[in-house]
Structure 1
Amino acid sequence: MVAAVEPGWYDDGTGAMRWWDGSRWTEDFADFGFGVELRTSAVPASAPTAAGWYDDGRGRMRWWDGRRWTAQSRFSGGEQAYAGVVVDGRWIHLGELSQPIAGVVAVVDSLERIGKRPGFSRAAHAKALFGPRGRLAWRQFGRFDRRALGLAIESADQAWITFPPAGDEAGARRFASWITASADHYRNR
């Protein structure tokens, strides 16, 4: 028996991020490079009609302006945040990016070592490498100080990089360990 997949933005198998309504693919596509940009003018069937704060289906409340989701968001209040990464229940967020936490791996290491991780370099070459401000090109990543400490979040199809506060390697490692443990917990549910 196959478990039901919750509604949300997922890779549809062609490399595009597409809205899954819980039972089928819709015609809504998104580009998560620099915020959410719908590639279609269609409004998701479940979209509210009145402006206001609504659950966006990705673990946070977002402002619906009556026609589209805006970049304004807020969380439940029970979230954990560190270096721009927010974990709110089953979801993990960095800037405008969100994904289910199940299946991610978090590591803290030098940028030189992070850049050599197979999942990280695969994501970078697939143009699926993101920082707090959006998509990062491989050459942009190469401009960072290779000795700098980074917090990397890797999933099957993308990688995120952010930078812990200076001098807080222990805090970064605790947070990364907690993310990985949470991912394992939800992966096995």
Structure 2
Amino acid sequence: MAAAEPGWYDDGTGAMRWWDGSRWTEHYADFGFGVELRTGAVPASSPTAPGWYDDGRGRTRWWDGRRWTAQSRFSGGEDSYAGVVVDGRWIHLGELSQPIAGVVAVVDSLERIGKRPGFSRAAHAKALFDPRGRLTWHQFSRFDGRALGLAIESADQAWITFPPPGDEAKARQFAGWITASAEHYRNR
């Protein structure tokens, strides 16, 4: 399974197992009833012809013949705001994707976001990202603490993005919708 991005894939035994980008880990998933699994995303042997393929993470991405590129497409029914895209059961920021079930979204000052236990834990575990990629705790602490941020927290990572100035009401509405969607899918 060379050249595949980290994610949940069928390991060939019918079980969904975590691929860390270079090897299988010991983690298996029980997604439960009603969850649509995308097992055709990255075949055991990577696609050879360039083209659009399901990447198994809620979107279609361009395979250039050797690796996935940053070009992606969604279903057409997605909602997006400040770089965050929600398309059904998946949430995306740049090249990052994860199931939406269990995430929490908040809008607050960066100072207060940085004090949230889940956010702080992710930052110190080097699992903090903004739309450009990985963000170190030092880089995050250099932002103006009074600035408004939209934070997405999950069990193993945190994302931060910035709503347009003067758009706090829409940012809060979007964050509330993400959290409600995450709760909905967590209980299915």
TM range (shorter): 0.7 to 0.9
2:25 corresponds in structure 1 to none
Q: Distance in 2 between matches of 1:122 and 1:161?
A: 14
* Candidates 12, 29, 38, aligned match of 2:21: 29
Shift of 1:27: 6.4
Corresponding residue SS for 2:97: strand
Q: Distance in 2 between matches of 1:132 and 1:121?
A: 18
Residues 18, 130 of structure 1: alpha-carbon distance in 2 compared, 3 angstrom cutoff: same
AA aligned opposite 2:93:
L
Corresponding residue SS for 2:56: coil
AA aligned opposite 1:52:
G
Shift of 1:70: 1.5
1:121 corresponds in structure 2 to 120
Residues 1:54 and 2:30 aligned together: no
TM-superposition CA deviations, 1:70-112 (whole Å, max 9, x none)? 1211111110000000001100000110000001000000001
Shift of 1:28: 5.8
Query: Is the Cα–Cα contact under 8 Å of residues 112 and 147 in structure 1 kept in the other structure?
Result: yes
Q: Distance in 2 between matches of 1:57 and 1:158?
A: 19
Q: Distance in 1 between matches of 2:114 and 2:153?
A: 12
AA aligned opposite 1:101:
I
Alignment of 1:1-189 (within 5 A): 17=6, 19-21=8-10, 23=15, 25=17, 29=21, 44-45=43-44, 47-189=46-188
AA aligned opposite 1:129:
L
Q: Distance in 2 between matches of 1:72 and 1:172?
A: 25
The share of aligned pairs that are identical, in percent, is 83
Residues 27, 164 of structure 1: alpha-carbon distance in 2 compared, 3 angstrom cutoff: closer
Query: Is the Cα–Cα contact under 8 Å of residues 129 and 160 in structure 1 kept in the other structure?
Result: yes
Q: Which runs of 5+ in 2 are unaligned?
A: 23-41
Corresponding residue SS for 2:70: strand
Query: Is the Cα–Cα contact under 8 Å of residues 19 and 29 in structure 1 kept in the other structure?
Result: no
Q: Distance in 2 between matches of 1:25 and 1:179?
A: 26
TM-score, length basis structure 1: 0.80
Residues 107, 66 of structure 1: alpha-carbon distance in 2 compared, 3 angstrom cutoff: same
Q: CA RMSD in A?
A: 2.0
TM-score, length basis structure 2: 0.80
AA aligned opposite 2:87:
D
Query: Is the Cα–Cα contact under 8 Å of residues 9 and 19 in structure 2 kept in the other structure?
Result: no
Query: Is the Cα–Cα contact under 8 Å of residues 113 and 151 in structure 2 kept in the other structure?
Result: yes
TM-superposition CA deviations, 1:27-85 (whole Å, max 9, x none)? 6616xxxxxxxxxxxx8516333221111111111011222211211111110000000
Q: Distance in 2 between matches of 1:26 and 1:168?
A: 37
Residues 67, 26 of structure 1: alpha-carbon distance in 2 compared, 3 angstrom cutoff: farther
Q: Which runs of 5+ in 1 are unaligned?
A: 1-7, 10-16, 31-42
Q: Distance in 2 between matches of 1:79 and 1:46?
A: 30
